[in-house]
Each structure stands twice: as structure tokens, then as C-alpha cells.
């Protein structure tokens, strides 16, 4: 193989690697679509709430690997902020999903969260009620039953670290008024049975 051919081959290889890295970075930093949740806790929802303390909802696709970062962030957040919260972790399970489909490490992680109530949303009724769309999406409702926050608490898909979502939640728990009420969410769509994150990694 000539020197010129080697240089061209190396340049093409570097270009392909660079494009792959750029695509991966764009994918990790591209937020998922979000719908508009009810501004007031929906009375028709099967999930009832007495609103004696702020209520935090976490919606989870049990096969979304990116949501592991959300759980780790949330666990550290709850350790730092001792204010009382009613926490619901809603595990989405489409109607057509087989038995035990939701039994993954994410379900175990959800059950390990302190003071969290884990709910298997068998028919996706709760998800539909709150218009949640993405695994890792968090909603915070105040004691008045009004929506205070919608979004994620990771800086990117599967990434951990400082992020606007945690800062907003911390401010709200201190009864401060943050500049934002919504942040991006990075994760799989809750309405699908297959993890889009795993598909992207193959």
C-alpha cells in the first residue's frame, strides 16, 4: 500500500470516528419531547393525593438505561434536602407488555429510594393522566395542588452532574421562586416497549 493511500485511509478513518463521536454527543445532549402536564393535580386520576406536603412524581421506563443517572441524582438530592416530600415513582407498563416485563434493575433502584412509593402503571393510566412522555421526567406539585416544576434532573442523556432541574427543585423546597419552571428531559419515550437508548448504543 502506497504512502498516499495510507494517508487517505487514515484521514477517512479519522473523519468517520469524528462523525461518530459528534453524532453520539448530539444524541446525548438532545432532549426528548415533552407534553404539557395538568397545571392542577387532576382529580380524576387514580393516583390520589392529600397535598399535606409537596408531591414529586418520577416517571420511568423500566428498560431505559439513561434513567439510572436520574435515580442516582435523585438519591443524592434527597440526601441533601431533608424536607418532607411525598414521592411517587411511576413505572410505565404498556398494556401489551408481557408479565414481569417491568422487573429490571430500575424497578429495584426505585424501591431503594427513601420514602418513595413505587407504582406499576399497568395500563399507562397515570402517565396519560399527567401527560408524561419521557423516562426520567419529574413533576412537582405544591401543597396547593398546583404544578411547580416539570423536567429532568440530569445534564444530558445518561449523564450525572450539576443541572438546572436540581437547582429549581432545591429553590422550590426552600419556598423560593426560581426563574424557570421547566427543564429538558433526556430519556426513552414512555409509550414504547423498547429502549431507544439501547438501540442507539448498538
pLDDT-based confidence at residue 126 (cuts at 50, 70, 90): very high
| Any domain includes 70 | yes
Helices then strands, each counted (H, E), the chain:
6, 5
Q: Indicate the range of 11-20, 51-60, 105-114, 162-171 predicted with least confidence.
A: 11-20
Mean pLDDT computed over every residue of the chain: 81
| Any domain includes 102 | yes
| Any domain includes 15 | no
Give this prediction's pTM.
0.80
More confident residue, 193 or 97: 97
The whole-number average pLDDT for the span 30-36 is 66
CA–CA separation, 138 and 161 (whole Å): 17
Q: Which strands sit side by side in the sheet containing 147-151, from one edge to the other?
A: 116-121, 86-92, 55-60, 137-141, 147-151
Could you give the number of structural domains in the chain? 1
| Any domain includes 147 | yes
CB 60 within 8 A of CB 92: yes
CA–CA separation, 31 and 159 (whole Å): 12
| Any domain includes 35 | no
Query: 36-58: per-residue pLDDT in tens?
Result: 899 999 988 888 877 789 999 99
CA 106, distance to chain mean position in Å, is: 12
Question: Given a cut of 70, is residue 127 above it in pLDDT?
Answer: yes
Q: pLDDT at position 123, please?
A: 82
CATH of the domain at 100: 3.40.30.10
Strands 137-141 and 116-121: unpaired
Q: pLDDT at position 14, please?
A: 45
| Any domain includes 139 | yes
pLDDT-based confidence at residue 22 (cuts at 50, 70, 90): very low
CA–CA separation, 112 and 100 (whole Å): 19
| Any domain includes 46 | no
Please report, in angstroms and rounded to a whole number, the separation of the first and last CA atoms in the chain.
32
Could you tell me where the DSSP H helices lie in the chain?
A: 3-28, 67-80, 105-112, 125-130, 164-173, 196-201
| Any domain includes 74 | yes
Q: Which domain holds residue 184?
A: 55-201
Task: Single out the residue of 140, 175, 147 nearest to residue 40, CA to CA.
Answer: 147
At 102, list the grid cell: 417491568
Amino acid at each position: 500500500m502506497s504512502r498516499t493511500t495510507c494517508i487517505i485511509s487514515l484521514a477517512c478513518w479519522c473523519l468517520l470516528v469524528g462523525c461518530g463521536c459528534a453524532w453520539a454527543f448530539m444524541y446525548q445532549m438532545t432532549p426528548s419531547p415533552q407534553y404539557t402536564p395538568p397545571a392542577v393535580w387532576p382529580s380524576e386520576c387514580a393516583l390520589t393525593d392529600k397535598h399535606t406536603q409537596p408531591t414529586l412524581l418520577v416517571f420511568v421506563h423500566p428498560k431505559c438505561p439513561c434513567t439510572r443517572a436520574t435515580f442516582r441524582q435523585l438519591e443524592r438530592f434527597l440526601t441533601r434536602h431533608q424536607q418532607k416530600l411525598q414521592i411517587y415513582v411511576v413505572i410505565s407498563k404498556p398494556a401489551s407488555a408481557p408479565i414481569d416485563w417491568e422487573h429490571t434493575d430500575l424497578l429495584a433502584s426505585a424501591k431503594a429510594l427513601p420514602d418513595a412509593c413505587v407504582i406499576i402503571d399497568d395500563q399507562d393510566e397515570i402517565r396519560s393522566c399527567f401527560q408524561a412522555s419521557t423516562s426520567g421526567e419529574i413533576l412537582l406539585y405544591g401543597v396547593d395542588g398546583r404544578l411547580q416544576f416539570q423536567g429532568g434532573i440530569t445534564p444530558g442523556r445518561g449523564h450525572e452532574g450539576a443541572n438546572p432541574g436540581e437547582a429549581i427543585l432545591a429553590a422550590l423546597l426552600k419556598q423560593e421562586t426560581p426563574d424557570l419552571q421547566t427543564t429538558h428531559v433526556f430519556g426513552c419515550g414512555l409509550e414504547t416497549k423498547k429502549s431507544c437508548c439501547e438501540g442507539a448504543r448498538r
